[in-house]
Amino acid sequence: MTTATTPTAPIGTRAHQPAGVPVHRPSGRAGFASAVRSEVTKITSVRSTYWSLLVLIVVTVGIGAAAGASAAHSASGPSFDPTQTSLYGLVFGQLIIAVLGVLTVTSEYSTGMVRTSLTSMPRRGTMVAAKAVVLAAVGLGTGLVASFGAFFAGQELMGHHINATLGQPHVLRAVIGGALFLAVSGLLGLGLGLILRHAAAAICAAVGLLFVLFILALELPSSWRVGTWVPLNAGSQIWQTVAPAASTHMLSAWTGFAVFCGYAAIAVIGGLILFRKRDA
Amino acid sequence: MIEIDGLTKRYGGTLAVDDLTFSVEPGKVTGFLGPNGAGKTTTMRMILGLDRPTGGTVTVHGKAFGQLAWPMREVGALLDAKAVHGGRSAYHHLLCLAQTNNLPRRRVSEVLELVGLQDVARKRSKGFSLGMSQRLGIAAALLGDPATLMFDEPVNGLDPDGILWIRNLMKGLAAEGRTVFVSSHLMSEMEHTADRLIVIGRGRLIADCTVTEFIAANSTQKVRVLTPQRDLLAKVAASAGGTVCDDGDGDGALTVQGLAPSRVGDLAFEHGIRLHELAAAHASLEEAFMELTASSVQFRAGVPADAGRQPVYAGKAA
Interface predicted TM-score (ipTM): 0.88
Q: Residue A13: closest CA among chain B residues belongs to which residue?
A: B145
> Which residues from chain A sit within 8 angstroms of residue B139, using beta carbons?
none
Residue B190 has pLDDT above 90, yes or no: no
CATH superfamily of B2-215: P-loop containing nucleotide triphosphate hydrolases (3.40.50.300)
pLDDT-based confidence at B217, cuts 50/70/90? confident
Please give the backbone phi and psi of residue B176, each rounded to the nearest 5 degrees, phi first.
-75, -5
Q: Which of A113-122, B69-78, B204-213 has the lowest mean pLDDT?
A: B204-213
Cα end-to-end distance, chain A, whole Å: 30
Predicted local distance difference test score (pLDDT) of residue B282: 63
In angstroms, the CA A102 to CA B29 distance is 41
Residue B157 has pLDDT above 80, yes or no: no
How many residues does the structure list for chain B?
Answer: 318
The reply to whether residue A116 touches residue B140, judged by beta carbons under 8 angstroms, is yes
In a domain, A2, yes or no: no
What's A75's DSSP letter?
-
Alpha-carbon distance of B252 to A44, in angstroms, equals: 72
Residues B79, A119: C-beta atoms closer than 8 Å:
yes
Q: Which residue has the higher pLDDT, B212 or A197?
A: A197
Does residue A34 contact residue B70 with C-beta atoms inside 8 Å?
A: no
Give the mean pLDDT of B174-192: 90
Q: Which of B26, B99, B129 sits opposite A41 (nearest CB)?
A: B99
Closest residue in B to A35 (Cα) is: B100
Residue A16 belongs to a domain: no
Give the burial string for B195-216 (b: 16+ CB within 10 Å, else e).
bbbbbbbbbbbbbbbbbebbbe
Chain A environment of B53 (Cβ under 8 Å) = none
Q: Into how many domains does chain A fold?
A: 1
CA dist B309 and B313 (Å) reads 12
Residues of B in contact with A50 (CB under 8 A): none
Out of A16, A23, A280, closest to residue B74 by CB: A23
pTM of the model: 0.84
d(CA B150, CA A279): 19
Chain A contacts of B72, Cβ < 8 Å? 30, 119-120
Instruction: Find the residue in B nearest to A38 (Cα).
Output: B96
CB contacts, 8 Å: A14 with chain B = 145, 176
Do β-strands B196-201 and B29-33 pair in parallel, antiparallel, or remain unpaired? parallel
Residue A65 covered by a domain: yes
Q: Is residue A48 included in any domain, yes or no?
A: yes
| pLDDT surpassing 70 at residue B63 | yes
The DSSP call for residue B1 is -
Domain boundaries defined on chain B:
2-215, 220-282
C-alpha of B54 from chain center: 24
- For residue B71, the chain A residue with the least C-alpha distance is A120
Domain of A162 in residue numbering reads as: 33-277
- Check residue A162 and give its pLDDT: 86
**B114–A11 C-beta distance less than 8 A:** yes
Contact between A34 and B100 under an 8 Å Cβ cutoff? The reply is yes
* B314, pLDDT greater than 70: no
Contact A48 B72 (CB under 8 A): no
For residue A9, is it within any domain?
A: no
Which residue in chain A has the smallest CA separation from B177?
A20
Rg for chain B (alpha carbons), in Å?
Answer: 24
Q: Which of B99, B109, B149 to probe by mutation at the A interface, max A CB count within 10 Å?
A: B99
Tell me the average pLDDT across B220-246. Answer: 87
pLDDT under 50 in chain A at which residues?
A: 1-19
Does B249 or B150 have the greater pLDDT score?
A: B150
The helix or strand, by DSSP H or E, that contains position B279, with its residue range, turns out to be strand B277-282
Whole-angstrom Cα distance, residue A269 to residue B143? 32
Q: Is residue B141 scored above 90 in pLDDT? A: yes
**Cβ–Cβ below 8 Å for A123 and B66:** yes
A132 CA: distance to closest CA in chain B (Å)? 16
From chain B, pick out residues whose CB is under 8 angstroms from the CB of A46: 85, 87-88
Of B115, B311, B318, give the one whose Cα is nearest residue A6. B115
| Whole-number Å distance between alpha carbons of A184 and A186 | 5
DSSP state, A209?
A: I
How close is the nearest chain B Cα to the Cα of A2, in Å? 7
Q: What is the pLDDT of residue A19?
A: 47
Interface contact B99-A11, CB threshold 8 A: no
Identify which of B207, B216, B211, B196 has the alpha carbon closest to the alpha carbon of residue B282.
B216
**Residue A276 Cα, gap to closest chain B Cα (Å):** 10
Chain A residue with minimum CA distance to B64: A122
**Residue B162 pLDDT greater than 60, yes or no:** yes
* Nearest one of B171, B161, B215, B164 to B193, comparing CA atoms: B171
Q: Answer yes or no: do A122 and B147 touch at CB < 8 A.
A: no
Structural domain includes residue A162: yes
Distance CA B142, CA B145 (A): 5
The CATH architecture one would assign to domain B220-282 is 2-Layer Sandwich (3.30)
- Compute the C-alpha angle B107/B110/B112, nearest 5°: 110
In a domain, residue A7? The reply is no
Count residue pairs from A and B with Cβ separation < 8 A.
Answer: 176
Q: Given this model, what pLDDT does residue A101 score? A: 97
Please state whether beta strands B75-78 and B221-226 pair in parallel, antiparallel, or not at all (unpaired): unpaired
**Minimal Cβ distance to B102: which of A12, A34, A116:** A34
From the list A88, A92, A107, A89, the residue with the least C-alpha distance to A48 is: A107
Chain B residues touching residue A100 (CB < 8 angstroms): none
Name the residue facing A45 among B68, B89, B129 (closest C-beta): B89
CA distance A81 to chain B (A): 43
Q: Which residues pair with B3 in a beta bridge?
A: B23, B59
In a domain, A5, yes or no: no
Cβ contacts of B146 on chain A, cutoff 8 Å: 23
